[in-house]
Structure formats: structure tokens, C-alpha cells
Structure 1
Amino acid sequence: MKPIRVALLGCGTVGTEVVRLLTDQAEDLTQRIGAPVELVGIAVRRPNKHREVPEHLLTTDAEALVKSDDVDVVVEVIGGIDPTRGLLLEALRGGKSVVTANKALLAEHGPDLFEAADASGADLYFEAAVAGAIPLLRPLRESLAGDRITRVMGIVNGTTNFILSAMDATGAGYGETLEEASRLGYAEADPTADVDGFDAASKAAILASLAFHTRVTASDVYREGIRSVSAADIAAAKGLGRTVKLLAICERVVSPSGQESVAVRVHPAMIPRTHPLASVNGAFNAVFVEADAAGEMMFYGQGAGGAPTASAVVGDLVAVARNMVASGHGPRESAYAALTAQPMGNTPTRYHISLDVADKPGVLSQVAAVFAEHDVSIAAVRQEGRIEDASLVIVTHAATDAALRSTVDKIGGLPVVRDVVSVMRVEGEE
């Protein structure tokens, strides 16, 4: 049996676990694939930092490793855009299949990679790019290929979910909870990619591309992070039987004329505590998929971490290796639908709005008049009076996001409104 020769780019937390799995499960992998897997090289920046890896496998010349004739498959766990993009394009153009966990690269330059793979007949697998070990992308790409997916919604970032879960459990503010997450290792030294929603937006772009057979990039995704979520927002959600989660939402939208488009967004939202996503706490991920024939499905599990992510990487490697043994290849890019990305302003959403208002007659009627003026329907109102001012909480029915934003802007200018305390979207309710 001719071995499947593998080059590994990167040997950090995930890469080290990939090496361990390939070593510990070598015999089983050979039986599952029908050929042995041979690790022929590992590209790293500082070889002296990887004493757990056989020294003869280490190299600092990633380009030479990728170009080597002794390599059949390139596994990439470096991350980032450059020089990774060039390395993977070089591998694919040379006929080498690629397994990657790089969501940012796929969200920005996925079409380039797919085109290179198609041109050479190589495979491109990327299960680990979204939701770690959770088998999510392959069901979208293969198992549900005969169905029509209408919506994908879920929690795809463990750091932000840990922070919001802790805020909900303790009542603490965002800043102190982020510090705790950093101390426990759930947040990076620079948490920007997570807390500002960049990580989730990249994953949402990949999910939408697969679900709707359309090329969706990170620039098509509306993005809001969790920095502005306060302890008061969490408390308000609790008072209404809700909790706050950072959600990635991808959905088909049909205009009144019947024209289809895709709306892809990432933002904090209140969801009912009875919703299955409300019980997803800590660093776990969960994603709901809705399809015409299959109905609702939920995928749940460890969304990050070295071992879970390495599990998905090696799973992809097994799939690629099996294709090679059978002289075949895996699924290609499916972007035939070519749907347009709908701007956030045209996307139907619901709002939870908390206002500080003067405690006197006629306040609610003035506020309600602004909603009516912008054709936004009010679903629920709660008012609590104090000595000099009052708290007014309004939950809307679905309306375009642009109409809701305009409504909030005008309400903030009313003389009876002292402050717009918070504005948050509401999901998971009919």
C-alpha cells in the first residue's frame, strides 16, 4: 500500500494535536483509509520550540515543503491570510489536496482556492474552520445536498459565549468578565477577533456559502460584537425570560416580488430561555439548521480547542486520503445559485428598546407615534415609574432594520426621552 504523504503547516496548539492523533492512531487510520498516512514534514517558524516533534520533520521553509514532490496532501493550521493564501494556492495548483482550518482565509479568498482545486482536480476540505469538532460543514455540503436550506442560526464563537454566559450567571459587567475569561484561557491576549465579531462573521460567510450555494464573503456579513452589552442588558433580558447570545444568522429572504437573496449577520440578540440555544453555555457552540424537507436540526459540541479542532482536521484528512485511494475526489464548490447579499437595512429584525423617560402623562403616546410614523409595530410595552423619571421597555414586531434604526434615532430626540439606554435585537420568537 503506497502511503499518503502529508505536509503539516503549523505546529501550535492544533498542529501538535494533529501530530499526536496521526501517531497514536496510525494503525487504525491505515485500516480506515486503506493506506498508511506518512507525515513527511512540518513547517514552523521556530524549530527549537517544538521538542515534542521529531527533529527531522521540522523545517522553516514552508514553500519548499509545499512544492515537494514527496507530498500528496497539505494540512494547514497556521491561520491568517498571508503567506498562507499563497502556500495553499501553490499546493492546489500543483495537484496536492488541502485540508485547512483557516476560516478567515476561506471567508476572504474561498473562491480563489476552489477555482485552483477545480483546475487541478485536487480536494479542498475545511470542516475544522467552523465549530471545531462539530460535524457541521459536511452535512451542509453533502448530507443536505438534496434539500433546500432556508436558515442557519447559531453560536459559533466560544469566547463570546463564555463571556455572555458568565455575565448572565453572575450579573457582572463585560469588562470584568472579559478579564476572567482571559485569566482562564478562554480569551486571547488580543480578543478583538472574537469580541468584535470578526471570527463569527468569517464562519457565517462559510456557512451561508455552503447552505445557499452562493459565494458569500466576510464583507457581505453585517457584524456587531459584544463590547456594548452591559450588565443592565443582561438583567433586562432576564426580566423578560430571555438571555443574550452572539448569534450568526444566515437566511434566505424573499422579496414581495419573489426575488430571493441571502441575509447574513452577526450580532448580540435576546432569545427566549426556552430556546435550545439559550442553554448552550461556556465555550460550547451550537448551530440550528432549517431545511424544507428535513425540518429543524441542531448541531452541538466543543467549538474550539486543540484536540476538538484536530479531530475535525484529521477527519478531513481521512476523507481526502480515501478519495486518493479510490482514485476519486470529494465534492466541488457549489455556487450555482449566485444569490445577492441583502443589505442589513433591508433585513427584517425585531428590537428590544430600553428608554429613560419623563414620568408624566402622554409619554407613551408620543413614543408610540414615532413607531407608527416609521411603520414599526409594537409587540409589548413595560413601564416602571420612579420619582422623577421612568423606565420604558418596548419590544417590536419584525420590521426592516433601517426602519427600526430610524425609529430609535427619532425617539432619542424626543423631549420626554432622557436617554436611549439600550437597543438589542430579538431572535428565536415568532
Structure 2
Amino acid sequence: MLYSLYELGHLSVAPWRIAAMMQSSMLRSPLNPASELEVAKTAAAASDLFESVTRRYRKPDWLLPTTSVNSVEVAVTPTPVWSSPWCNMVHFARDGEALERARGKRTDPTVLIVAPMSGHYATLLRSTVEAFLPEHEVYITDWIDARMVPLMMGRFDLNDYIDHVISMLRELGPDTHVVAVCQPGPLVLAAVSIMAQQDDPCSPATITIMGSPIDARKSPTEPNKLAEKRDIAWFKQNMIHTVPPLYPGAFRRVYPGFVQLASFMGMNMQRHVDAHYAYYQNLVKGDGDDARKHREFYDEYLAVMDLSEEFYIQTLVEIFQEYRLPLGLMEHRGVKVDPGAITKTALLTVEGEKDDISGIGQTQAAHDICVNIPEAMRRDYIQPGVGHYGVFSGRRFQTEIYPRMREFIRNFQTPASRSGDRRAKLKVGAD
């Protein structure tokens, strides 16, 4: 019912939003002799604000048309190279001729970035991808909105997620480096553990886990405390809703993105109110740069996707209530997940000093359970002065965190992967 009411609200306000857009355009028109009057600027700014807060935010574009390699501009084309009903693995393919001119015959490490499946689209990691592009072959998990997946495609739970990660690592082949950002940390670590238990030749060379709830008991944050305080029946009753017939996934039970967004914004509501008021003032003043930055941020932040009921509920139970991975209780398809089986994959953990989503120590816990990774193959880094999003985006990520990740990957890049033919390696992985 709530989902249907939400959609009805969007539809009912649509005429008013169109009217606001028309009024803003008319008031700002150079043909309008009153456009420079204060009352016109104020009314136009109010119309723009109304339009922005009532808009339906769609999945953003990647907006990464080029990258710079040794000062040479190289075209970039996001291309799906592996797909399921629930995910596309997107390769940010760089133009071969320009790339060869820029770097010669050098072979760059292959990096799979596993994006969060936690409400926002993978494009939230745009700046993460941008940082890696000049010196890596970059792939990312582009998870599909659950409301767009027809019921006939079946369920999607934690086991399916782990299977997806394993399948993509096998598709990329040996010597791949995997980066798990936030939510996927425990599941990527589980996937790598299963591959190690099977002595899989496509086990990644390195795993980097960033701002992730490997052990949510450590430095619990408000989201962690909420997950502990409420029982699963409460979450099912209040957080799970049915997709209305407007979408391909009609009648699928989901955790809607707009519900999670409301939770996120509720944690820092005054900050969002202040940001929108500042946006309104900048529009009145005609400060286009600050208004543009506000729009760019909220175009991304307010674009949300739904999660399947089973994935959301299992995540709450296994990761945030029963702590199955750090306690050695997690299973995948009936097989116990043993991080102690990992011996050949190097481990880097990254945390933010001010992270209010995954507290200090939650990501570091990966070192406690991966007991058989040699000490020389471990790294841990805490970035001073950044919160959760600063772990994977922003100035400090670009200048302080990414260089450490780059060095870590290169330290454990095998000689074969530095000079080998990627196509040959992919064939080995497929076999």
C-alpha cells in the first residue's frame, strides 16, 4: 500500500512540477523585462527548488567519457561484458590505439570494483572508477533495481550475491584485484573464501575492503544499533512493501529505495534542510557554480533502487544481528565459509576516522578472521578526517587513499599479469 501511495503522490504532484518548470523558464527568460527584479529572481528560485524536491530521480549516467593517461586523452566506453537478470558487470573500455600511444605495451592490472547493493546505484562510485581508470582495467558490478526484475526471474539472496561475485571473478580470470566498497565487504570476503576452499585458480590476487561491516559488533553506529534493537518481524512489517503494477517487477516484495533514502536523510535531516536552503539562496543570487554542485550531489544521492526482500532480510540477520561471518557461522549453499582458507590473496582494509555507518574496527576485523594470510600480505589504513563517503570519494580519497590502493595492487601484481595477454588469461579463467 505504501509503495502505491508513494507512486500516487508523484503522479498527483506532476502537474504542479511542470507548472513550476514553466514559471521558472518564463521568469528567467531574457525576453522578460522583469527578469532582473528581485521578486522575479525569488519566485524563479522557489520554482526551481520545488521542481528539485518533487522530481523523480532516475539512474544517473556514468559521465566518464575520457580519462587521461600520461597526459594523453583516452576515450572511455562503459560496456556490459557479463550479465544476469540482477547485475551487469560493466567494463570501462579504454580506446586501444590512444592507450597504446599513452603507455606503450604496458599491461595494467585488472580491478573488479564491487559496488554496494544498498539503495544507491553503482554510479555513486563514479569518482572511485575515475581514480582507477588511468592505470587499471576497471570493471564494476552494476546491480539492477529489484523493481525492474520480473517475478519469473526468481529470488535474489545472499547466496545469489556470492555466486555472482564468484562468477564475475572467474569471468575475469587469474590475477584480478577485487575492491569491495561498504556493504559487499562480508559477501566478497565470503566469495573469496569459498574460492580459496576450492583452490580456484581464479581466486583474486588481492582483496581491498573499504568501510565495511565485517564485524558490526565493533564501534556500533546508529544503523547497527537499530538493526539490533528491532526484531525481524518489525522490519518485515515496516520496511518491506510490494512493487505496484507500474513496473516490470510488479508484485515483487522489496525494501524500497525511497524508504531507505528517508532513513538516510533522517539521520542528518537538518544538514539536508540547510543544504536546500543554501541552494535556494544561491539561485536567488545567481551563483551558478554552487547551485550546480548542489544539483550534481543530489541528482546522485536522491536516485535510489529497491532491494529484494530476501536479500535485505538475510543481510539484517546474518550481518547485523547474528554476526555469522566473524563468528565462523556463515554458510554458502550448505558449505561453511572459512576465511582461514585464504592464503594467497593479499588483504587491504580501509576505514574512515569519522565513519558513522561502519565504525572503526568493523572493517579491520577482516584481519582477525583471515588468520592464514601471511603478515607480509596484509595492510590496514585509517584515513583521518573523513566520514563514510570520504572513504571512496572526494579529495582525500583521490590524494591519500587511492595512492595507497594503487601501491598495494602493484605490490602483489604477478610478473605474468604485468606482461601477459589479457585475452589469454580470460581463456584460462573460462576453462
TM-score w.r.t. length of structure 2: 0.30
Identify, as 1 or 2, the structure richer in strand: 1
Higher Rg: 1
Q: Which is richer in helix?
A: 2
Q: Which has the higher contact order (CA 8 A, sep 6+)?
A: 2
